[in-house]
Amino acid sequence: MSDDKMPEATGPLSISIPEPPTRPGDAPDFSYIEVPKAGAVDCPPVDTKPEDMRDLAYSIVRVLSRKGEAVGPWAEFLGDDLNDESLLRGLKDMMKTRVFDARMLTAQRQGKTSFYTQCLGEEAIATGFQRMMRKGDMNFPTYRQQGLLIADGCSMFDMICQIYSNEKDNLDGHQLPCLYSFKDHGFFSISGNLGTQFVQAVGWAMGSAISGDDKISAAWIGDGSTAETDFHSGMLFASVYQPPVVLNIVNNQWAISSFNGLAGGRNAPFAARAHGYGFPSLRVDGNDYLAVLAASKWATERARRNLGPTLIEWVTYRVAAHSTSDDPSAYRPKEESDAWPLGDPLERLKLHLIKKGAWSEERHTQAMAEIESEVIAVQKEAEKYGTLNRGKGPDPEKMFEGVYKEMPDHLVRQRLEFEA
Amino acid sequence: MSDDKMPEATGPLSISIPEPPTRPGDAPDFSYIEVPKAGAVDCPPVDTKPEDMRDLAYSIVRVLSRKGEAVGPWAEFLGDDLNDESLLRGLKDMMKTRVFDARMLTAQRQGKTSFYTQCLGEEAIATGFQRMMRKGDMNFPTYRQQGLLIADGCSMFDMICQIYSNEKDNLDGHQLPCLYSFKDHGFFSISGNLGTQFVQAVGWAMGSAISGDDKISAAWIGDGSTAETDFHSGMLFASVYQPPVVLNIVNNQWAISSFNGLAGGRNAPFAARAHGYGFPSLRVDGNDYLAVLAASKWATERARRNLGPTLIEWVTYRVAAHSTSDDPSAYRPKEESDAWPLGDPLERLKLHLIKKGAWSEERHTQAMAEIESEVIAVQKEAEKYGTLNRGKGPDPEKMFEGVYKEMPDHLVRQRLEFEA
Amino acid sequence: MARMTMIEAIRDAMDVKMGMDEDVVVFGEDVGYFGGVFRCTQGLQEKYGRHRCFDAPINESAIVGAGIGMATYGKRPCIEIQFADYVLPAYDQIVSEAARIRHRSNGQFTAPIVIRMPTGGGIFGGQTHSQSPEAIFTHVSGLKTLIPSNPYDAKGMLIAAIEDDDPVIFLEPKRLYNGPFDGHHENAVTSWAKHEKGEVPEGHYTVPIGKANVVETGMDVTILAYGTMVYVAQAAARENNIDAEIIDLRSLLPLDLDTIVNSVQKTGRCVVLHEATLTSGFGAELTALVQQHCFKHLEAPVLRVAGWDTPYPHAQEWHYFPGPKRVGKALKRVVEAQ
Amino acid sequence: MARMTMIEAIRDAMDVKMGMDEDVVVFGEDVGYFGGVFRCTQGLQEKYGRHRCFDAPINESAIVGAGIGMATYGKRPCIEIQFADYVLPAYDQIVSEAARIRHRSNGQFTAPIVIRMPTGGGIFGGQTHSQSPEAIFTHVSGLKTLIPSNPYDAKGMLIAAIEDDDPVIFLEPKRLYNGPFDGHHENAVTSWAKHEKGEVPEGHYTVPIGKANVVETGMDVTILAYGTMVYVAQAAARENNIDAEIIDLRSLLPLDLDTIVNSVQKTGRCVVLHEATLTSGFGAELTALVQQHCFKHLEAPVLRVAGWDTPYPHAQEWHYFPGPKRVGKALKRVVEAQ
Ligand SMILES: Cc1ncc(C[n+]2csc(CCOP(=O)(O)OP(=O)(O)O)c2C)c(N)n1
Ligand SMILES: Cc1ncc(C[n+]2csc(CCOP(=O)(O)OP(=O)(O)O)c2C)c(N)n1
Ligand SMILES: [Mg+2]
Ligand SMILES: [Mg+2]
């Protein structure tokens, strides 16, 4: 206002540049995460008003205790879904996902593909969530939700052929490895651009609801990618139109080299973002398969009952490198993943099942061996049709297909020129 | 997951399309706004942790009581700033703004300009806020913050010449009327694109803080425009880098024909958006000049003391049409503005000053007459230099200036062609 | 047949399609209760209900992004962006998503979405209500870009666009909404009621995508134009007594190259017009194609007349607009070149 | 003089400017502690502190928007966008804001900001790590668009860009980061250590904006190229024994029209190359200018060789890339045309 007497200026200002608590060489430090006891968080009815359950964004829904017991109201909420058969299936889904990842990582190292993204340590989230989706529902995943496909029984052969860009690649070589598209498995074509699909998932759910259909959708985004503008777009349209969508944030603490404080995640939990838009959110132990099932059930039930959107922040840790192009030892302590307070999702479910008498170390070892042979066999089969740069690969001319439904003249001319 | 037994589908879904409570022909209904008593809301210390003051987003900071008294902790916080001289200046700033608007509206009707945007009913916000800004600080305003200029003593002659795009237009005709740029008054060049400047304000504050300067900035956005992606961008960068910026949302209930429910504003107060980003926010009676002063002081003090960003939701009502291109009677009850529960900012301050014995109806009438003559005189002076399409206007060739610092060859050639 | 303005024709196209196909949904800023700031959607919400025609938050990127989602579900969103100047926040969703989804999913998912927007200057809208962004769309494989110049085409092309299975950018020259405009802003505008192209058939018909319209046949020079510039071309040719063949491209991508090449091979001369800034405008592509396909026939270089490479100024609007005078000069130069 | 890769040269440019001018700040995704996914900013945070070189949230629009704000305050932000494919969310901030602020504020506010980004294909990056978006920037008045082809130019041009008072788009052909690349992907790549343009002076120097570089003089045909395509042009000319004059444009906007016109007037023939999709690519503008300014001298139509009008495919990368074979064919056609 230029009335120089009024507000007083102060000393020199500065900005704050968020830094993770530790860097390579330091001892890992997860003291910033407050981990409540399993069973400690309430399970409100699915039609609870958002303003009456804000506290859920500031704690963590956990079901499996340290001892491997399923405890508390979220276990109760699961009810019949907690049967052994179902949990054993979950365990195997996670095992298969992990084995698949390991094989594909090696395949990339062997030059069979250009790129791969593991989900090591995060297997429970996608495999658990998918159990609550129905045929015809649609996920809008990122490159780290292969668990959705595995849990839905997608053919690993098809997945590997896509990764290899070989002649059986269902995408004819158009797309980067891991950026799958499997419509029949309710798995939307993954974009290489972060965030864009968050609002598309909301739009898809709007489409379903406008049509009076009963299909729901799920959006997926990483902690780092919540920074993208499409995150706000998705939250906003979910708030305004209240479509049947579950909005999933996989908070695995890291983007590439940047930690989630650079997405604002250390000033408030990501789950709290929903409060500004007036819809419910959950913050959930993403390494607890039972908590994943319970929260997924809660949120999908809200969607199916037309109660509107739910935001879920899945708290987990990216044990793997960001991708095969990344080496995390350059920016975080090597031992960080061992110090991660929420443990390993696979080990935790295994412990639970063993405690319950539904599983044993022996059966586990045997199942592991079976899964490994299965994946190896499928991989071999896929390699008959080539790998990247080996074998005939997708027909080169296929690159001209699918730009439009019908090829316009200028592309026809270009294809002719290409053939010449 | 395609295990068809598991989650149960429910009946047909639908989306919700937000509608304002009333439309033309209906009786206005503002029952959705809970108005607390003046003085009812706490005034926390400016270094309060964001998590300890979330309740402020869900109430409304008010200082002036119905009877025109300044009450409660926010009045106390104002302290010395509450002196009569200062408040009389505020009253006159608002009066001038209103008179200026009325004259320019008429001028547009007379074809002297192509476009005008009033701020009728919202005068307290910009005129009050600017009192807490210092020389060198920077506002990133929208087209409805002319009050910032008036309160800063910007020449109305310059403002009118810009509105008229005449030969004295400081922008040489480049820009739409009302999209001012007055760097000397800490008033950033207004964009015609909504929202874009919200994050720029944050960047400007970052620039100041990185330089160790003591300058702060203020971002401005309308309720409707909080929907834009740049809103999230600004909030996020404010959260991450904690620069000295005040983020202002002017919630005047309406965008053009769409009400603030279409920006998510009926599911949660806009002020609550800050909670997801972990910084403090205030929700303030924007028609209460004293509340405006107090909240502006609180937030700018936080910025100056390097305590980081503050979000302020100013609750007000757009009494005027959206712009001279708009006729609100097509989409809202004509009587809505009379029913607005927070009254008229000018009348409320006037009542307070009269109550205090610092003002009277007579002095008010006289001051009004003086201001009107002043504005009319300035307007006449400006019209000597032409109005839109009358007089010689800005030099046509000036359109080639300022595209780049130095005109590149291709533009030189185009200018030559133009002259030919 | 009814006489319609371009606004009415556009509205009628949506009305016809909404009546025929319940997957067609219309949304955008202010398009619901209010019927759009240019009134293109007036009455549609009342007729088809709030689920078929509704207001959207002011977030162009989300409008397009949600529209893409709906389209991949199976709807046919016909979206309004309030001014073409405001489509830029949605550019990523349009280019990286709408235009790519069919190819990257190898046909599993498609985004049949129409993005309508008023384009061009001439209403004293200043730099943010006047721009013509066609060239940033014609560079994008997977998109179609259309721009009608009259009510008849507007209705037929919009119906074709909504029926098209690929994403379509539909540019509406706002200066033509109420009548053909020849660039002489000092004159009163004739209304569509007095123009034969204001005759618009009732019900369903389409104007096929990818077909240009030869508006005037002539021997001296071919003028390639679209939108408002079609009328400026006519005025300039008439006023300079030039026997021009004027082609209204209508569809920029896909482009009717045959019609263009046939004409230039006949006339041997060509002038290209648009309102967008010159450099890297769509006129560059047209010029490149013409010189390539008609090289032996060209008797003069192809000239472009376009907006200057500056923002669209408010006060100097009519100095910026490539009106009949500038176009006439270029025509003379090209026709007189030896 | 030191031998540097293009990455080192780019880093050195920032280092030199950060050392000279404390208003220069560098930020972007992963550029701080880690030094960028291509390591272009490695060591800068350590050397200049976390306030001068820092990580940004994954929000390209905000990165540019905040950068604009800083620039209007008085800083000189040099921003990295991780891949050119990811600049699209920032397109509105770049076009509607950075490019317009000087004009709309009549010089009161300016946005001297450099937006660096790796561009082009050749690393099996698929459609979202390979695109070349230059044409969507060259259409925008108020922007400058540069693209170096070697370490020497990269450093000198980046220093010039940071010193420039207008916003600059700085495209870095990622396939050239570690060595010149002629399009023969089956061959091993030579490193910059073996190339004369890998010699980079220490300290401050600039390569002026707006000046092209005649890489090879020749009489048969002029090749207009930039970035990676400069080496493809050389390979194609060599392999087909064509005496080509090869112009490395370096600065697309402003463009060194004189150098282009002089050359084509001499050779009478012209081929234009780029990796971006053909239609409405920057090659269209070049072609339009050449035919306009060299009409009488042209003995054959200007031909363009460019990326196909499809997304950049992953598996068919080398079928998409306009390599020496395709360029050679076009050269022969143009040279042999009567
Ligand atoms: C628009 C855009 N910007 C940047 C990138 C580059 N990028 C790919 S993955 C990644 C990190 C994402 O982190 P997060 O969202 O946390 O997901 P996570 O990898 O941890 O699952 C970045 C920056 C991109 N793909 N798209
Ligand atoms: C990017 C963009 N989209 C749309 C518009 C058109 N438009 C101008 S003002 C306005 C309404 C803004 O409402 P609000 O933000 O509430 O501000 P208010 O006018 O109430 O002060 C709209 C939609 C625009 N100028 N820019
Ligand atoms: Mg992450
Ligand atoms: Mg408003």
- Sketch out chain A's domains with CATH numbers: 22-389 (3.40.50.970), 396-420 (no CATH)
Residue C219 — very low, low, confident or very high, per pLDDT cuts 50/70/90?
Answer: very high
Distance, in Å, from the CA atom of C172 to the CA atom of C79, rounded to the nearest integer, reads 13
CATH, range D213-336: 3.40.50.920
Atom of ligand 1 nearest to the CA of A225: 15
Residue C301 — very low, low, confident or very high, per pLDDT cuts 50/70/90?
Answer: very high
Mutational pocket test of ligand 2: of B225, B247, B252, B266, the residue with most ligand atoms within 8 Å of the beta carbon: B225
The mean per-residue pLDDT over the stretch B206-210 comes to 98
Distance of CA A310 to the CA centre of its chain: 16
| D window 261-290, beta carbon within 8 A of A | 278-279
Distance, in Å, from the CA atom of D328 to the CA atom of A30, rounded to the nearest integer, reads 59
Dmax (CA) for chain B in angstroms is 81
Residues of C in contact with B262 (CB under 8 A): 55-57
Over residues D7-30, the pLDDT tens digits come to 999 999 999 999 999 999 999 999
- Token readout for D144 is 């400058």
Which residue in chain C is spatially nearest to D334 when comparing CA positions?
A: C292
Residue A4 — very low, low, confident or very high, per pLDDT cuts 50/70/90?
Answer: very low
Mutational pocket test of ligand 2: of B123, B148, B322, the residue with most ligand atoms within 8 Å of the beta carbon: B322
Which of C285, C296, C309, C310 to probe the D interface (max D CBs under 10 A)? C285
Among B227, B13, D106, D203, smallest CA distance to A309 is for: B13
Dmax (CA) for chain C in angstroms is 62
Residue A1 — very low, low, confident or very high, per pLDDT cuts 50/70/90?
Answer: very low
B281 bridge partner residues: B311
Pairing mode, if any, of strands C2-3 and C199-200?
A: antiparallel
What is the average pLDDT score of chain D?
A: 97
Residue B55 to chain C, least CA–CA distance (Å)? 27
Pairing mode, if any, of strands C244-248 and C213-216?
A: antiparallel
Q: Which residues of C36-71 are buried (b: 16+ CB within 10 A; e: fewer)?
A: bbbbbbeebbeebebbbbbbbbbbbbbbbbbbbbbb
- Token readout for B344 is 């008229």
Whether residues C66 and A237 touch (CB distance < 8 A) is answered with yes
Residues of C in contact with A193 (CB under 8 A): 92, 96-97
Over residues A166-194, the pLDDT tens digits come to 999 999 999 999 999 999 999 999 999 99
Over residues C13-66, the pLDDT tens digits come to 999 999 999 999 999 999 999 999 999 999 999 999 999 999 999 999 999 999
The mean per-residue pLDDT over the stretch A311-338 comes to 96
Report angle CA C129, C133, C139 to the nearest 5 degrees.
Answer: 170
Q: Which helix (H) or strand (E) holds D305?
A: strand D303-307
- Token readout for D105 is 């504020």
pLDDT of residue A2: 39
HSE, CB side, 13 Å, CA atoms: give it for residue D266: 17
Whether residues D125 and A398 touch (CB distance < 8 A) is answered with no
C271 bridge partner residues: C223, C303
Residues of C in contact with B17 (CB under 8 A): 32, 50-51, 54-55
pLDDT of residue B1: 38
Determine phi and psi for C235, rounding to 5 degrees: -60, -45
Asked whether residue B2 carries a pLDDT value surpassing 50, the answer given is no
Active site residue ranges of D: 129
C253 bridge partner residues: C145
- Token readout for C136 is 């940033």
Distance, in Å, from the CA atom of B61 to the CA atom of B298, rounded to the nearest integer, reads 12
The contacts of residue C281 (CB under 8 Å, 6+ apart) are C134, C135, C274, C304, C306, C307, D139
Distance of CA C149 to the CA centre of its chain: 7
Residue A379 to chain C, least CA–CA distance (Å)? 22
Whether residues D102 and B234 touch (CB distance < 8 A) is answered with no
pTM over 0.95: yes
- Binding pocket residue ranges, ligand 1, CB within 6 Å: A 142, 144, 192-194, 222-225, 250, 252, 254-256, 318, 322; D 29, 58, 60, 82, 86
Amino acid at the residue D263: S
Q: Which helix (H) or strand (E) holds D260?
A: helix D257-267
Q: DSSP state, C317?
A: H
Residue A137 to chain B, least CA–CA distance (Å)? 9
Determine phi and psi for A290, rounding to 5 degrees: -70, -40
Asked whether residue B4 carries a pLDDT value surpassing 90, the answer given is no
- Please tell me if residue C92 touches chain A, with a CB cutoff of 8 Å: yes
pLDDT of residue A210: 98
| C window 166-195, beta carbon within 8 A of A | 166
pLDDT of residue B409: 98
Residue A31 to chain C, least CA–CA distance (Å)? 37
Using CA atoms, how far residue B283 sits from A312, B29, B62, B270, in Å, is 27, 21, 9, 8
Active site residue ranges of C: 129
pLDDT of residue A10: 75
Distance, in Å, from the CA atom of D144 to the CA atom of D146, rounded to the nearest integer, reads 7
Question: Among residues of chain D, what percentage have pLDDT more than 90?
Answer: 98
Using CA atoms, how far residue C296 sits from C264, C300, C338, D331, in Å, is 10, 11, 14, 19
Asked whether residue C331 carries a pLDDT value surpassing 50, the answer given is yes
Pairing mode, if any, of strands A138-140 and C114-119?
A: unpaired
Output the CA torsion B126→B132→B133→B135 (10° steps). Answer: 130
Which residue, judged by its Cα, is nearest atom 19 of ligand 2? B255
Instruction: Select the residue of B172, B204, B210 nearest D106 (Cβ to Cβ).
Output: B172
What is the average pLDDT score of chain B?
A: 96
The mean per-residue pLDDT over the stretch D301-308 comes to 98
Distance, in Å, from the CA atom of A411 to the CA atom of C102, rounded to the nearest integer, reads 15
Distance, in Å, from the CA atom of A292 to the CA atom of A75, rounded to the nearest integer, reads 11
Which residue in chain A is spatially nearest to D88 when comparing CA positions?
A: A193
For chain C, the domains span 2-200, 213-336
Distance, in Å, from the CA atom of B38 to the CA atom of A341, rounded to the nearest integer, reads 48
Residue B222 — very low, low, confident or very high, per pLDDT cuts 50/70/90?
Answer: very high
- Token readout for A16 is 């704050």
Atom of ligand 2 nearest to the CA of B223: 16
A249 bridge partner residues: A221, A313
Over residues B348-391, the pLDDT tens digits come to 999 999 999 999 999 999 999 999 999 999 999 999 999 998 99
HSE, CB side, 13 Å, CA atoms: give it for residue D333: 14
CATH architecture of the region D2-200: 3-Layer(aba) Sandwich (3.40)
Distance, in Å, from the CA atom of C313 to the CA atom of B179, rounded to the nearest integer, reads 13
ipTM of predicted assembly, 2 dp: 0.98
**Sheet containing strand A138-140, strands side by side:** A138-140, A217-222, A245-251, A310-315, A281-285
Among A269, A266, A233, A275, smallest CA distance to A249 is for: A269
